[in-house]
Structure 1
Amino acid sequence: MSIYEFAKSIALLAGERIREELSQELIIETKSNPNDLVTNMDKATEVFLVDRIKETYPDHHIIGEEGHGKDITSADGYLWIIDPIDGTLNFVHQQQNFAISIGIFHNGEKYAGVIYDVMNDKLYHAEAGKGAYLNEEKLPMLKNTALVTSIISMNPNWLTKDRTREMYVPIIRTARSARSYGSAALDFAYVALGIIDSYITLRLHPWDFAGGLIIAEEVGAVVSNQLGEKLDPLHSNSILVANQTLHQELLADYLLPFESHLRLIHSGPFSHR
């Protein structure tokens, strides 16, 4: 079994475990703020994934949202970046609209990405250079769109802050419509699927984007930070993912005019894992 096939298999197994244990009482804790939640299910799922990876590939490195690999500073060798439950607020409040995300890099280069929409039993996956799939169906390459005919996804929390509101409100006003799904992994998957045209957010950790980055790029999406720069899988980033034409329009007309402000944000504490 290849590393890619193994990644898909453990994501499916972890999702099955989550579905089986949904009726059990959750232990909910907060992390950086009252809305940054973690549950016993997040922690148990990360342990399950890490244990399976380490049993099979003991020389591989792992970064996980719930604590594994926080001392890793190099992408040498095989590096797994995992989010056991991306969309924990959705998981706690809705018991749906959350996903398991796995991104794998080899010597800093993309190798494979897996996103498992647990409750809908939809597995998005891609091996670099070989296209992206939803379950066993290969996804078509994305069509180009202009902002005026595009649906975008953006966390509305960024509209409560003065300078980011100034950047983002014109995008929302020009777009055909805006959405917020509450799971970065699913946002990437939905861009890859073509049901939204862009996902824009100011702050994501590596585990939030590592799996989706690979899947989206395999269908022709352009993924960068909001300065148009390549994402660093070892650090937090701002995110702009869209089809090629829309990415160019958003970058040139709406984001780069705020380049000095964005550079200040990128140099701040959030840019470090």
Structure 2
Amino acid sequence: MNHEMLEEIYTNAKKWVEEAGENIRSKINNPLTIDTKSNPNDLVTTMDKETELFFVSKIKGTYPNHSIIGEEGYGDELTNLDGTVWIIDPIDGTMNFVHQKRNFAISIGIFHDGVGEIGFVYDVMNDVLYHAKRNQGAYKNDTKLEPLNKEVVLEKAIVGMNHFWLCNNLTVEVGTMQKFVKHVRGTRTYGSAALDFAYLAEGITNGYLSLGLAPWDVAGGMVIAGEVGVVTTNVDGTPLDMLNKSTVVASNQALHYQIIQFIKEGRK
């Protein structure tokens, strides 16, 4: 992707994200139709669908050769990330959107031939936009985020994580996760993986750990956090599969190794 095209796509995407956020804010108190997907806690609303359709229409109308992976299913069925692919979560943190009317985000990662080129995480209700272009730094609104160079040991780390591991997840034993939670300084659950990545990039937390996320949960945040030195992999250290659900470990290089090693040793 050449520089001119990258800038054009970034400019259009930024405008569309801000327009979508303004639309959500204007309708935040309107009645919602709420449905469930994979389980009773996997919520989807009319606003999720409306927002994804907005992006699909803008992208396909402007870049008909681009592909889309979207949480609500209005994108394309892909078997690879060839070409330019937009990975979209119209509302990441739908449960927060429904119950709190805050603490949710629009998340977009734009990949080209499998490489994350552009990332957006928009904290809609606070009107805070985290954004990045590959090799050009990450920003919170107009403020450039500093690289996460500070060495942090696991015992003094604040780690963002959800608590699905309590449900006897087979990827990592519950006992290992219990030891991990006791070992770190503290854990935080925000209910939005996109915001977790944004806070990690900002330095509010030191790491992020999840035992099951879809590509749209992490695509935008990965690009942003990667620009400040965050490494994102599966819990076994292998690269994420951006077409399927994955476990996720994200932090700077030094802490990332500590988290991976702790989980490996805990399995024994």
Indicate the percent of aligned positions where both proteins have the same amino acid. Answer: 51
Q: Partner residue of 1:26?
A: 32
Q: How does 1:69-148 map to 2 (within 5 A)?
A: 69-142=75-148, 143-148=150-155
Distance in structure 1 (CA, Å) of the matches to 2:218 and 2:163:
19
5+ unaligned residues in a row in structure 2: which ranges? 1-6
Cα distance, 1:70 vs structure 2: 5.0
- Kindly indicate whether residue 169 of structure 2 is the aligned counterpart of residue 150 of structure 1: no
User: Paired residue for 2:213, among 193, 196, 204?
Assistant: 204
1:224 partner letter? T
1:82 partner letter? I
User: Paired residue for 1:168, among 177, 187, 191?
Assistant: 177
Q: Partner residue of 1:263?
A: none
1:221 partner letter? V
1:188·1:199 contact (CA, 8 Å) conserved in 2? yes
1:227·1:259 contact (CA, 8 Å) conserved in 2? no
1:144·1:244 contact (CA, 8 Å) conserved in 2? no
Distance in structure 2 (CA, Å) of the matches to 1:243 and 1:151:
13
Cα distance, 1:7 vs structure 2: 1.3
Distance in structure 1 (CA, Å) of the matches to 2:219 and 2:79:
16
User: Paired residue for 2:226, among 217, 227, 232?
Assistant: 217
TM-score, length of structure 2 as denominator length: 0.93
Q: Partner residue of 1:181?
A: 190
Distance in structure 2 (CA, Å) of the matches to 1:5 and 1:104:
12
Q: How many pairs does the alignment contain?
A: 259
Q: Partner residue of 1:3?
A: 9
2:193 partner letter? A
Cα distance, 1:107–1:31 mapped onto 2, change above 3 Å? same
Cα distance, 1:209 vs structure 2: 0.6
2:164·2:211 contact (CA, 8 Å) conserved in 1? no
- Kindly indicate whether residue 264 of structure 2 is the aligned counterpart of residue 256 of structure 1: yes
Cα distance, 1:259 vs structure 2: 6.5
- Kindly indicate whether residue 93 of structure 2 is the aligned counterpart of residue 57 of structure 1: no
SS of equivalent residue, structure 2 residue 173: helix
Distance in structure 1 (CA, Å) of the matches to 2:215 and 2:206:
22
Q: Partner residue of 1:159?
A: 166
SS of equivalent residue, structure 1 residue 2: helix
Distance in structure 1 (CA, Å) of the matches to 2:51 and 2:22:
11
1:196 partner letter? T
Distance in structure 1 (CA, Å) of the matches to 2:115 and 2:41:
33
5+ unaligned residues in a row in structure 1: which ranges? 261-273
SS of equivalent residue, structure 1 residue 148: helix
2:67·2:76 contact (CA, 8 Å) conserved in 1? no
Cα distance, 1:169 vs structure 2: 1.2
Distance in structure 1 (CA, Å) of the matches to 2:121 and 2:210:
19
Cα distance, 1:91–1:76 mapped onto 2, change above 3 Å? same
Distance in structure 2 (CA, Å) of the matches to 1:202 and 1:17:
32
Q: Partner residue of 2:250?
A: 241
Aligned CA-pair RMSD:
1.4
Cα distance, 1:23 vs structure 2: 1.8
Q: Partner residue of 1:271?
A: none
Distance in structure 2 (CA, Å) of the matches to 1:106 and 1:157:
32
1:109 partner letter? V
List per-residue Cα deviations over 1:82-110 (Å, max 9, x = no partner). 00000000000000000000001011111
TM-score, length of structure 1 as denominator length: 0.92
SS of equivalent residue, structure 2 residue 223: helix
- Kindly indicate whether residue 75 of structure 2 is the aligned counterpart of residue 66 of structure 1: no
Distance in structure 2 (CA, Å) of the matches to 1:169 and 1:247:
18
